[in-house]
């Protein structure tokens, strides 16, 4: 090995150029960690975790998933309203810098990296820096919430379309196409909408969506402490009050199919509630 001009050091290809060892540039993989349940990770995501030198992760990634990569150094760049650790630009630069150190960098994000995950910005930063960057998709929260509740996002006869929107805009309330979202027979899934639930319900109702439209709020989807509240558009704001964990607001006729029975599994601590189902417009 020592006589070879190229040698592998700690899994890293080091080229010898004019007697100087030059560390090969590493790469970045944007990995969707799914909604929390480690069983919802893809096999490709698991392989990426197992090959990582460093995990750059946010606050929505569960400890069980981080533990699947015990060999990797962890960097928590969690962004929460009250604990804004690193601005996005700094995260982008961090990914580039780590890859330039020759590391196998996994940027681990809750759900899917390209669904309200700012994965596009991180991919662009890597591309601009000439760093190889690939994306491993993840199960987005809406899919897990819908599957867990048995409430399909599309359903023949009652939900011909599904739209994912954000309830949070950089400078306050979201500016959405309320008229389009208010049409019946479609499901509207609101991410990051807990604090703006009242505003969203008011806008949808003002644009013509019936207050009696079924609505499902799912907190901590796929986790042991998952909580579902079946309500109506009129009851959305009160259903969202006091939620602490990540939650989705799902509005649409097909949400009436949600399973709100307490499961028989005694280990499950989920809470299932029905609120205001009879309230009208
Ligand atoms: C910044 S977005 C990230 C979305 C993520 N990329 C995805 O694909 O699920 C954060 C929002 O996703 C939703 N969310 C993420 N994980 C969730 C979960 N386990 N249960 C319910 N909602 C979740 C919440 O609306 C939360 O405010």
Helix pair 119-129, 88-100: axis angle to 10 deg = 40
What is the pLDDT, as a whole number, of residue 153? Answer: 98
Please give the average per-residue pLDDT across 269-276, as a whole number.
Answer: 56
Please give the average per-residue pLDDT across 94-105, as a whole number.
Answer: 98
pLDDT digits (tens, 9 = 90+) for 222-242: 999 999 999 999 999 999 999
> What is the Å distance from ligand 1's center to 117 Cα?
9
pTM of the model: 0.87
Ligand 1 atom at minimum distance from 138 CA? 8
What is the pLDDT, as a whole number, of residue 270? Answer: 46
Contacts 24+ apart (CB under 8 A), 96-101: 96/28, 96/125, 96/126, 96/129, 96/131, 98/26, 98/28, 98/54, 98/56, 99/25, 99/26, 99/27, 99/28, 99/126, 99/129, 99/131, 99/132, 100/25, 100/26, 100/129, 100/131, 101/23, 101/26
What is the pLDDT, as a whole number, of residue 274? Answer: 65
Residue 267 has pLDDT above 70, yes or no: no
How high does pLDDT run on average in the chain?
88
Please give the average per-residue pLDDT across 29-45, as a whole number.
Answer: 97
Q: Which domains does the chain have, with CATH numbers?
A: 26-136 (3.40.1010.10), 141-274 (3.30.950.10)
pLDDT band at 273 (very low <50, low <70, confident <90, very high): low
Residues 6+ apart with CB under 8 A from 151: 216, 250, 254, 255, 256, 257, 258, 259
Ligand 1 pocket residue status of 137, Cβ below 6 Å:
no
- What is residue 155's DSSP assignment? B
Please give the average per-residue pLDDT across 180-194, as a whole number.
Answer: 97
Residue 103 has pLDDT above 50, yes or no: yes
Residue 262 has pLDDT above 50, yes or no: no
Best residue among 36, 111, 189 to mutate for probing ligand 1's pocket (most ligand atoms within 8 Å of CB) is 111
What is the pLDDT, as a whole number, of residue 59? Answer: 85
Range with lowest mean pLDDT among 3-17, 63-77, 94-108, 204-218: 3-17
């Amino acid at each position: 090995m020592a006589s070879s001009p190229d040698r592998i050091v700690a899994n890293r290809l080091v080229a010898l150029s004019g007697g100087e060892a030059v560390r090969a540039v590493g790469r970045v993989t944007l990995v969707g960690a799914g909604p929390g349940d480690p069983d919802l990770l893809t096999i490709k995501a698991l392989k990426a975790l197992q090959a990582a030198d460093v995990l750059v992760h946010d606050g929505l990634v569960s400890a069980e998933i981080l533990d699947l990569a015990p060999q990797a150094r962890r960097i928590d760049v969690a962004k929460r309203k009250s604990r804004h650790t690193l601005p996005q630009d700094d995260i982008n630069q961090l990914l580039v810098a780590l890859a330039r150190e020759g590391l196998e960098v996994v940027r681990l994000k809750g759900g899917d990296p390209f669904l309200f995950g700012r994965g596009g910005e991180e991919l662009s930063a890597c591309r601009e820096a000439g760093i190889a960057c690939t994306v491993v998709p993840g199960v987005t929260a809406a899919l897990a919430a819908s599957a867990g509740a048995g409430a399909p996002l599309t359903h023949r006869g009652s939900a011909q379309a599904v739209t994912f929107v954000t309830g949070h805009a950089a400078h306050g309330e979201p500016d959405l196409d309320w008229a389009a979202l208010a049409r019946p027979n479609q499901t509207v899934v609101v991410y990051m909408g807990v604090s703006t639930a009242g505003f969203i319900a008011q806008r949808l109702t003002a644009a013509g969506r019936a207050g009696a439209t079924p609505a499902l709020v799912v907190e901590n989807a796929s986790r042991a402490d998952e909580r579902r509240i079946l309500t109506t558009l009129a009851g959305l704001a009160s259903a969202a009050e006091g939620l602490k964990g990540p939650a989705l607001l799902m509005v649409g006729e097909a949400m009436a199919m949600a399973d709100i029975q307490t499961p028989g599994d005694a280990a499950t601590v989920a809470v299932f509630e029905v609120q205001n189902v009879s309230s009208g417009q």
